[in-house]
Amino acid sequence: MNLEMQRFKAEFFKALAHPLRIRILEILAEGEKSVNEIQTLAGSEGSAVSQQLQVLRAKNIVTGTKDGNKVIYTLKDSMIIDLLAVARQIFNNHLVNTITILDKFKEEEEVPAVTPKN
């Protein structure tokens, strides 16, 4: 893979590296929304939402279209929805592995220790 592609991927993932940005993308995965709708659904302040939308716009991850006095945001590429689904699957896989390890530790603690006879 060439260096430009690696740089693109690194910058792309940096743009996603914020919980509110991820939440905004999850909201936009459901369809286009105004800033006020995103703010309400995200449960966050308008200034924080606007700031994160600006980052996503600068990286061409979302687009904004003027509609009267408001801006309607959409995902630039619907593949973002797939990416979020894959990230959720990876998280679930990690969670399952962690639970399995914890269950094994719990089983080891429940086994009574055998004391040698003298």
Under the banding of pLDDT at 50, 70 and 90, the label for residue 111 is low
- The pLDDT, as a whole number, for residue 114 is 62
Task: Of 61-65, 72-76, 102-106, give the lowest mean pLDDT range.
Answer: 102-106
Residue type, 21: R
Under the banding of pLDDT at 50, 70 and 90, the label for residue 94 is confident
Q: Dihedral through CA 67, CA 73, CA 76, CA 82, nearest 10?
A: -140
60 with 15: CB under 8 angstroms? Answer: no
Helices H / strands E in the chain, number of each: 5, 3
Which residues touch 64 (CB under 8 Å, ≥6 apart)?
53, 57, 71, 72, 73
Query: Is 112 a residue whose pLDDT tops 70?
Result: no
What confidence tens digit (pLDDT) does each residue in 5-47 have?
A: 999 999 999 999 999 999 999 999 999 999 999 999 999 987 9
Residue type, 107: E
